[in-house]
């Protein structure tokens, strides 16, 4: 596995990897890798000839009171894991390499960047869109792999790719969960044993929404109400949002008949976690 920390070196490595018309798949991450990330790496391996992974804890997507400085950084374990997955290139730039002094250009996907997580985390999607656009420019992947876990991020990036004519395909991979239902996340390691148990209420609430939908209920306010009843079983979990939206525009949907995204974010202790469920169109449920 080639490891590069500079843009110039990454570009020169990629010229070699791409020789003879080989395709490149990119998996952008912030490190502290888990099986969710690895599922993206394996998808990239299945779709592309060469697999590039980036590890960059992107300062511009964290708010001033968020966890940028204490975000888990597990470099040695991440490298070992990526080597064992036979990743071809690991791009791990410093903040200064990605945002040289005087850097002042940002990407804002208007309208969408203040919905769901964007509403609770002002500036978050501006940071995400900017860093992903930069990674696309540096790596020039044929395909880029993202997790459905971050459903709002997927919607914002899909729109960005369309609006800015990026010449690549976004591939979205399913949420990887623990056997008990908890969606894997680098932030789960912040949870105490007690909090981890409480955190299960998110996937439980979404499962309840799924069951109600399968019974033919399509009224969003009713589905949200019943999700709320499950969430209330853990009074110490503070709900940030629990909504049913259009998965492409992230706008609220009154009815789920044509398909919908049920998304929830909550604070368990001081840790913010998210989870979601895609509801297919009613006729296919």
Instruction: Determine, following the binding rule CB under 6 A, whether residue 150 of this chain makes contact with ligand AMP.
Output: yes
Contacts for 268-271: CB closer than 8 Å, 24+ residues apart: 268/191, 268/195, 268/198, 268/199, 268/236, 268/237, 269/190, 269/191, 269/192, 269/195, 269/236, 270/190, 271/187, 271/190, 271/191, 271/195
Helix-strand-coil percent breakdown of the chain, rounded to 5?
A: 45, 20, 35
The region that residue 86 occupies, defined by phi over 0 for left and psi between -120 and 50 for alpha, beta otherwise, is left
Which residue number places its CB atom closest to ligand AMP? Answer: 147
Residues 39-98 that bind ligand AMP (CB under 6 A): 39-40
> Considering the complex, what minimum distance in angstroms separates the CB of residue 109 from ligand AMP?
16
Question: Would you call 208 a catalytic residue per the annotation?
Answer: no
Q: Does 124 participate in binding ligand AMP (rule CB under 6 A)?
A: no
Q: Can you tell me which of 37, 121, 134, 243 binds ligand AMP, judged by CB under 6 A?
A: 37
Binding track, positions 164-203, relative to ligand AMP; x by CB under 6 A: ---------x-xx------xxxx-----------------
Q: What's the closest the beta carbon of residue 72 comes to ligand AMP, in angstroms?
A: 10
Looking at the DSSP bridge assignments, the partners of residue 277 are 262
Catalytic residues: 37
Residues of this chain that interact with ligand AMP (CB under 6 A) are: 29-30, 36-37, 39-40, 146-147, 149-150, 173, 175-176, 183-186
């Amino acid at each position: 596995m080639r490891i590069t920390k500079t843009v110039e070196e990454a570009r020169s490595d990629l010229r070699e990897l791409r020789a003879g018309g080989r395709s490149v798949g990119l998996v952008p991450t912030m490190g502290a890798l888990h099986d969710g990330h690895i599922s993206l790496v394996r998808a990239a391996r299945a779709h592309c000839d060469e697999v590039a992974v980036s590890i960059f804890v992107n300062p511009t997507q964290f708010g001033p009171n968020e966890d940028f400085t204490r975000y888990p950084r597990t470099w040695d374990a991440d490298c070992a894991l990526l080597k064992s997955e036979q990743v071809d290139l690991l791009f791990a730039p410093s903040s200064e390499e990605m945002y040289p002094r005087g850097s002042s250009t940002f990407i804002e996907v208007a309208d969408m960047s203040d919905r769901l997580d964007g509403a609770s985390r002002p500036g978050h999607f501006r940071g995400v869109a900017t860093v992903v656009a930069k990674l696309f420019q540096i790596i020039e992947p044929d395909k880029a792999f993202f997790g459905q876990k971050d459903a709002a991020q997927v919607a914002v990036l899909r729109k960005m790719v369309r609006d800015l004519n990026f010449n690549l395909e976004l591939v979205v991979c399913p949420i990887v969960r623990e056997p008990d239902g908890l969606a894997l996340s680098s932030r789960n390691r912040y949870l105490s044993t007690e909090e981890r148990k409480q955190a299960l209420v998110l996937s439980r609430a979404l499962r309840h929404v799924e069951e109600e939908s399968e019974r033919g209920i399509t009224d969003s306010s009713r589905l949200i109400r019943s999700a709320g009843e499950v969430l209330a079983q853990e009074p110490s979990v503070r709900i940030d949002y629990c909504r049913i939206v259009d998965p492409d525009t992230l706008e609220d949907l009154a009815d789920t008949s044509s398909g919908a995204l049920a998304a929830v974010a909550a604070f368990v202790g001081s840790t913010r976690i998210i989870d979601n469920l895609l509801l297919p169109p009613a006729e296919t449920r």
